[in-house]
Structure 1
Amino acid sequence: MSITTMGGMKVVPDCLIDDMVVDETNMLILPGADTWNDAKHTAILKMAREFLSHGAKVGAICGATVALANLGILDERPHTSNGAGFLAMFSPNYRGQDFYVDQLSVVDNNLITASSAGSLLWSKQIIEQLDVFQSDTLEFWYDYFNTGDSNYFFQLMETLPSVE
């Protein structure tokens, strides 16, 4: 079964929600959208709560942070979104104002939240949490995509393990 994104891209999921494994090595990524409060997302949002409670990682950006606010997940932990008033505007249940951090992306243990403008930093923090690259490779990756400076690209390539 394929899913069509807001942008018209067709995606075929690797597994069903019921087949997802919740453990500290896995991450659930909730992309931005204005539909997260639709009832059709209840199951995946329940899974997000389960991931967090079991030490697994969750990343939420832009509109997905509204859904986490509605669930009370952001009430007592550092987080960010599209501005200090954004969550209160779209989430009548939001009670996390005291924990809001005005940054592009915020990591709080196993939760990474971001504003729509923080997608690059959010991606970096996800890659870091998943331990995909060694630290210098990640820094060169980030610097390259943040600046477009080809010197960082070549430094990035030099830090990658050789493929044999």
Structure 2
Amino acid sequence: MKKEVLIFISNGYADWEAGYLSAELNKPESEYKVKTVSLNSDNVQSMGGFTVIPDYTIDSLPAQFEMLILIGGTGWKDNSAITPVIESCIQNRTPIAAICDASTFLAEHGYLDEIPHTGNSLDYLKEFAPNYKGHANFLEKQTVSSDDIITANGTAALEFTREVLKKLKVIPVEQIDGWYTFFKNGFYQE
């Protein structure tokens, strides 16, 4: 039986931030499968116009899943109901990966105050996460993996995917690095 990885989506989610990741995790040879979770059972529409029927709501989560992935987008000001799920993941040491404004949400709610992390920029976090106190732990990097939390900025979909694949040990590290180089550089140099 395949292990489930949950991707939290809400209206206005940044569909491209989950594209590489979900494709890699859902490969037939992978031991993982992606399931979506949302605040309720209503259809969710991405920034790009894709309509998704969530597999789960925050009230109907499976007892066991391997990681919670929080995708960025325009809806994070209205997603505070996900906080108990995040709390449960932290308590149970279930890894969390957050990109773009999902990282800002974690910053606003104090989850990044004591660990190395990144986000869209330090100035961005200061402006859009007024309760954020983790300034000293902010790193100017595309992604940062710290214990059970991975953070990334909104331009780091490939790097984010690479870190999640490594954390879940989907394939050997050398293959993950080769995958990243291939998609980062392409077939031909411009």
Comparing both structures, which one devotes a greater share of its residues to helix? 1
Q: Which amino acid aligns with 1:35?
A: G
Q: Select 1:73's aligned residue among 111, 114, 138.
A: 111
TM-score, length of structure 2 as denominator length: 0.72
* CA positional deviation for 1:22: 5.8
- Structure 1 segments (4+ residues) deviating >3 Å: none
Q: For 1:67 and 1:96, how far apart are their aligned partners in 2? A: 13
Contact 1:22 1:51 in 2 (8 A): no
Distance 2:70 2:118 in 1: 14
Residue 88 and residue 22 in structure 1: after superposition, are their counterparts in 2 closer, same or farther (change >3 A)? farther
Identity across matched positions, percent: 33
More strand per residue:
2
From the superposition, tell whether residues 95 and 48 of structure 1 become closer, same or farther in structure 2 (CA, over 3 Å).
same
Name the aligned partner's letter for residue 114 of structure 2: E
1:13 aligns with 2:58: no
Kindly indicate whether the alpha-carbon contact (under 8 Å) linking 1:49 and 1:73 is maintained by their aligned counterparts in 2. no
Higher relative contact order (CA 8 A, sep 6+): 2
Please tell me whether residue 55 in structure 1 is matched to residue 93 in structure 2.
yes
Deviation, 1:117, is 1.4
Corresponding residue number in structure 1 for 2:157: 119
Is the CA contact (8 Å cut-off) linking 1:105 and 1:121 kept in structure 2?
yes
- After TM superposition, give the deviation of residue 138 of structure 1 in Å: 1.1
2:140 is aligned, of 99, 102, 110, to 102
Structure 1 unmatched ranges of 5 or more: 151-164
When the two chains are superposed, the root-mean-square deviation of aligned CA atoms in Å is 1.6
Task: Tell me the residue number matched to 2:184.
Answer: 146
The alpha carbon displacement at 1:6 in A equals: 2.2
Q: Which residue of 2 aligns with 1:84?
A: 122
Superposition deviation, residue 52 in structure 1 = 2.0
Q: What TM-score do the two structures reach when normalised by structure 1? A: 0.82
Alpha-carbon deviation of 1:121? 0.6
- State the partner residue of 1:134: 172
Give the number of equivalent residue pairs.
147
Task: Name the CA distance, whole Å, in 2 between partners of 1:33 and 1:143.
Answer: 26
How far apart are residue 131 of structure 1 and its match? 1.6
